[in-house]
Amino acid sequence: MELRLFNTLTKEKEPFAPLDPARVRMYVCGPTVYDFAHIGNARPVIVFDVLYRLLRHLYGEGKVKYVRNITDVDDKINARAAEEYPKLPLNEAIRLVTEKTEKQFHEDVDALGCLRPDVEPRATEHIGEMRDLIERLVKSGFAYVEQEHVLFEVGKMSDYGKLARRSLDEMEAGARVEVAPYKRNPMDFVLWKPSKPNEPGWPSPSGIKTPGRPGWHIECSAMSWKHLGETFDIHGGGIDLVFPHHENEIAQSRCSFHTPIMAKTWMHNGFLQVEGEKMSKSLGNFVTIRELLTDWKGRGWPGSVVRLAMLKTHYRQPLDWTTDRLVESDVQMGVLKNTVRIANPDRGAIIPEVVAALADDLNSHLALSALMKRGNDSNDVAKTGLWLGLFKEEDFKIGRDHAAGIKTAVQEALEKVASDLVDARNAARANKDWKESDRIRDELKAMGVVIKDNKDGTTTWEIAR
């Protein structure tokens, strides 16, 4: 099956061919760990999780390497640490903030059914690689040292701006901010900057005496290099990262290694709004993953429902996050769960139409349509839903145990009670005592058991969703 992906570099959907099919390599920009991740952060995590699953399916599980970084050096982190732990030394406070936030992030995205990447490198563990890259750039003339800063000189790179499709002239004309005095060109960007005495700092490159810290972009160049090599296949993130972040990553990496590309395919997910408005703290419509899972609009939403709600829209389209979207996803998830309630994924196969839809630039909505199509074999739906991350293995534990004849004491007791009541109700029905029959059904309902009178005359029951 041919995989086609939209490449921001060429603005075209193109056939995907890995540099090395035995080692498919993908890098996605991960979170800056200073606060709960919000629903906008969840979008790329879910989207690229689906791509990761698809790549593993197409090339083999052991053949794909997925790297998603954790940014643990950043001014926002420093500010948050000082605010939350004013009495601790800053470095210790920073460690507490980043560790806590990283744990929260993992809990949240696990709940959304996302697989962990193969490597989750931390910026602070790659300062050496960053210094190495910076030294290379200075030596080869792409970067310069000025007032203890190291800056990348954009004018030295002939096709700077290619990803964002902007020429230097256009960008300078649009520059609205004050230009720092140490910059040769207004668009030059920081690779390394000096730290104040109370800030985190590391030995500086290129003969700078004062300890310093990295600029924002260099960490991704360093970590992708360390874990994926000088060039790799896919680099992903939110569309807002195209400029300047990804443009600058490309500049750093290509000029360090003198390569024509950094990543072959650049993929960017579209932005998300909340109830038709831009999500922002000032509007008060900021939605964190944690809120969604526990209490948003009066209830908690299962991770699978959030995942489904996210994948209903193609990843490059803008997405409006609304209650209606979640309610509909909840209904659909209920239908899916009902379909697979006695299914066994081990006996099913991944539905080819679902894979085909995803292989066409991750058309997740069409894939979901194929999954929910009437008449699908329930074992196939189970297998495919599991593969898509919509179901978890434990969703099928009861079905499997049931098939294997394993029951817990609680289940046995429940079954005894329920089957006695069902028998009593059927006896009442045989006497056309509808009042008693309905009373027993209500009693069962109160216990969380739903009755179904089947067409063949039998009566079955199940635990209410």
Partner RNA sequence: GGCCACGUGGCGGAGUGGUUACGUAGCGGACUGCAAAUCCGCGUACCCGAGUUCGAUUCUCGGCGUGGCCUCCA
Shortest gap between Cβ of 26 and RNA (angstroms)? 15
The residue among 179 and 413 lying less far from RNA, judged by its C-beta, is 179
- Residue that has been written with the tokens 């009755």 in this structure: 451
Which residues does residue 119 pair with via DSSP β-bridges, in sequence order?
67
The residue among 60 and 334 lying less far from RNA, judged by its C-beta, is 334
Query: What are the tokens at 152?
Result: 């990348």
The residue among 100 and 165 lying less far from RNA, judged by its C-beta, is 165
The residue among 105 and 144 lying less far from RNA, judged by its C-beta, is 105
DSSP structure string for 202-265? B--STT--S-EEE-TTHHHHHHHHHHH-SSEEEEEEEGGGIIIIIHHHHHHHHHHHT-S-SEEE
Task: Please list, in sequence order, all residues whose beta carbon lies within 8 angstroms of the beta carbon of residue 181, skipping any fewer than 6 positions away.
Answer: 147
**Long-range interactions of 13-21: CB distance < 8 A, separation 24+:** 13/360, 13/361, 14/265, 16/233, 16/265, 18/59, 18/233, 19/231, 19/232, 19/233, 19/264, 21/59, 21/63
Shortest gap between Cβ of 207 and RNA (angstroms)? 26
**DSSP at 302:** -
Give yes or no for a contact between 46 and 292, defined as CB atoms under 8 angstroms apart.
no
Strand pairing report for 212-214 and 189-194:
antiparallel
The residue among 90 and 164 lying less far from RNA, judged by its C-beta, is 164
Backbone angles phi, psi at 313, to 5 degrees: -115, 140
Shortest gap between Cβ of 201 and RNA (angstroms)? 19
Measure the CA–CA gap between 174 and 89, rounded to whole angstroms: 41
The residue among 56 and 245 lying less far from RNA, judged by its C-beta, is 245
Query: What are the tokens at 383?
Result: 């297998």
The residue among 137 and 336 lying less far from RNA, judged by its C-beta, is 336
Measure the CA–CA gap between 178 and 55, rounded to whole angstroms: 44
Shortest gap between Cβ of 264 and RNA (angstroms)? 20
Give yes or no for a contact between 42 and 30, defined as CB atoms under 8 angstroms apart.
no
Task: Please list, in sequence order, all residues whose beta carbon lies within 8 angstroms of the beta carbon of residue 409, skipping any fewer than 6 positions away.
Answer: none
Shortest gap between Cβ of 406 and RNA (angstroms)? 25
The residue among 166 and 184 lying less far from RNA, judged by its C-beta, is 166
The residue among 88 and 418 lying less far from RNA, judged by its C-beta, is 418
Give yes or no for a contact between 163 and 242, defined as CB atoms under 8 angstroms apart.
yes
Shortest gap between Cβ of 262 and RNA (angstroms)? 17
Task: Please list, in sequence order, all residues whose beta carbon lies within 8 angstroms of the beta carbon of residue 44, skipping any fewer than 6 positions away.
Answer: 28, 29, 236, 237, 238, 269
Shortest gap between Cβ of 96 and RNA (angstroms)? 20
Shortest gap between Cβ of 5 and RNA (angstroms)? 13
Shortest gap between Cβ of 392 and RNA (angstroms)? 21
The residue among 19 and 366 lying less far from RNA, judged by its C-beta, is 366
The residue among 85 and 271 lying less far from RNA, judged by its C-beta, is 271
Strand pairing report for 64-68 and 212-214:
unpaired
Shortest gap between Cβ of 24 and RNA (angstroms)? 22
Shortest gap between Cβ of 120 and RNA (angstroms)? 15
Measure the CA–CA gap between 34 and 97, rounded to whole angstroms: 6
